[in-house]
């Protein structure tokens, strides 16, 4: 039909549709449960802002909070899903970002996984663009028009499995199992996914970083692992409860470990927990379940990195 907006889908046509009855049931459960949110992700005491600003050679990953990472590779500084918001919805932020905006090195590009508010925060994007002349945004297909209307000019859209080269780095947009909406009328009118960041030329050994984005457990983990030699997986572990409601769109910690094994990564960095209260689980619960599953499977402790906010892994 002429003028009809494109609606994006998951692999296999799987749809994350929720009914009003399911939403009502979730709200009843949420009110009935009293949870302890006193645990806070620590601020890293030894963060090295000067080193991050001067680094041109080392590949590094710095967790700022939630799904926001500073990734340094090939002399470039990249931000994933930058959110410096003090609150999300009705709730205030649980833990402060690990770096202030003013502490960031020059940012060359932003990678967005999808349009949900806890991943695409327009005030944060505007602040980053003001501070970084020539900033480039790489986004899922269908999201470019929205960002251009908001005043962003250098926006590149990618479909799943498409890649683009940015100087010495290759950015690959890969599938996730999720959905999008920012208003009552734009459900799934832009896509969602993750990013695999790797050197554009030298690919000996495992050197890729897999920023998973938001996802339920799906066959795409194995597909990504078959195409890329992943060293580090930035894997979500939070916002999974109640699981009858959340599992199609958010992995729980046990599913996250399985996804990590499916993609064949060497190192696991958990994310998407500790900054905002998005569902019924708490940051402490997510971490405890992750550690229990890691131990149950007999995985080497040195493959799991529980970063503090502001901590850098090289």
- Report the alpha-carbon distance of residue 237 to residue 254 in Å, rounded: 8
In the block, residue with structure tokens 């999720």: 178
274 backbone φψ class: left, alpha, beta (φ>0; ψ -120 to 50)? left
Q: Indicate if the pLDDT at residue 2 is higher than 60.
A: no
Asked whether residue 37 is assigned to any structural domain, the reply reads no
Least trusted range by pLDDT, from 18-27, 48-57, 65-74, 267-276: 18-27
Domain hosting residue 141, numbered range: 49-309
Asked whether residue 34 is assigned to any structural domain, the reply reads no
Q: Indicate if the pLDDT at residue 26 is higher than 80.
A: no
164: nearest Cα among 129, 133, 195: 195
Asked whether residue 35 is assigned to any structural domain, the reply reads no
How confident is the model at residue 4, as a pLDDT? 66
Q: Look at strands 136-140 and 87-88 and give their pairing.
A: unpaired
Q: What's the DSSP call for residue 195? A: E
Which has more pLDDT, 14 or 237? Answer: 237
By the 8 A CB rule, do 271 and 309 touch? no
Asked whether residue 70 is assigned to any structural domain, the reply reads yes
What does the block give as tokens for 93? 């932020």
How confident is the model at residue 203, as a pLDDT? 66
Q: What is the mean pLDDT of residues 8-27?
A: 81
Q: Map residue 88 onto helix, strand or coil.
A: strand
What distances in angstroms separate CA 125 from CA 95, 107, 195, one per listed residue?
Answer: 20, 11, 18
Domain count for the chain: 1
By the 8 A CB rule, do 146 and 120 touch? no
CATH label of the domain that carries residue 265: 3.60.15.10
Convert the pLDDT of each residue in 131-154 to its tens digit: 999 999 999 999 999 999 999 999
Mean pLDDT of the chain, nearest integer: 94
Asked whether residue 122 is assigned to any structural domain, the reply reads yes
Asked whether residue 231 is assigned to any structural domain, the reply reads yes
Convert the pLDDT of each residue in 113-131 to its tens digit: 999 999 999 999 999 999 9
Least trusted range by pLDDT, from 16-20, 35-39, 244-248: 16-20
Asked whether residue 186 is assigned to any structural domain, the reply reads yes
Asked whether residue 8 is assigned to any structural domain, the reply reads no
Q: Indicate if the pLDDT at residue 1 is higher than 60.
A: no
């Amino acid at each position: 039909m002429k003028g009809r907006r494109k609606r994006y889908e998951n692999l296999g046509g799987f749809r994350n549709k929720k009914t009003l009855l399911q939403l009502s049931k979730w709200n009843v459960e949420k009110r009935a449960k009293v949870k302890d949110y006193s645990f806070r992700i620590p601020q890293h005491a030894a963060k090295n802002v000067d080193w991050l600003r001067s680094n041109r050679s080392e590949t590094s990953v710095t967790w700022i909070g939630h799904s926001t990472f500073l990734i340094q590779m090939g002399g470039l500084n990249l931000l994933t899903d930058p959110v410096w918001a003090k609150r999300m919805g009705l709730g205030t932020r649980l833990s402060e970002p690990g770096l202030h905006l003013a502490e960031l090195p020059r940012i060359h590009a932003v990678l967005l996984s999808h349009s949900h508010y806890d991943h695409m925060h327009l005030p944060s994007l505007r602040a980053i663009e003001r501070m970084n002349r020539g900033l480039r945004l790489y986004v899922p297909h269908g999201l470019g028009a929205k960002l251009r209307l908001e005043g962003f000019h250098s926006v590149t859209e990618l479909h799943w499995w498409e890649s683009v080269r940015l100087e010495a780095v290759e950015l690959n947009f890969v599938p996730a199992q999720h959905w999008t909406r920012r208003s009552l009328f734009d459900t799934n009118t832009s896509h969602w996914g993750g990013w695999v960041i790797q050197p554009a030329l030298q690919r000996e050994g495992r050197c890729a970083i897999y920023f998973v984005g938001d996802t339920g457990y799906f066959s795409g983990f194995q597909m990504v692992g078959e195409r890329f030699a992943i060293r580090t997986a930035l894997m979500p572990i939070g916002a999974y409860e109640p699981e009858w409601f959340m599992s199609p769109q958010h992995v729980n910690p046990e599913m996250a470990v399985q996804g990590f094994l499916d993609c064949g990564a060497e190192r696991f960095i958990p994310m998407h927990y500790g900054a905002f209260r998005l569902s019924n689980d708490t940051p402490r619960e997510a971490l405890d379940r992750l550690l229990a599953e890691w131990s149950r499977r007999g995985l080497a402790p040195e493959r799991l990195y529980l970063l503090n906010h502001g901590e850098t892994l090289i």
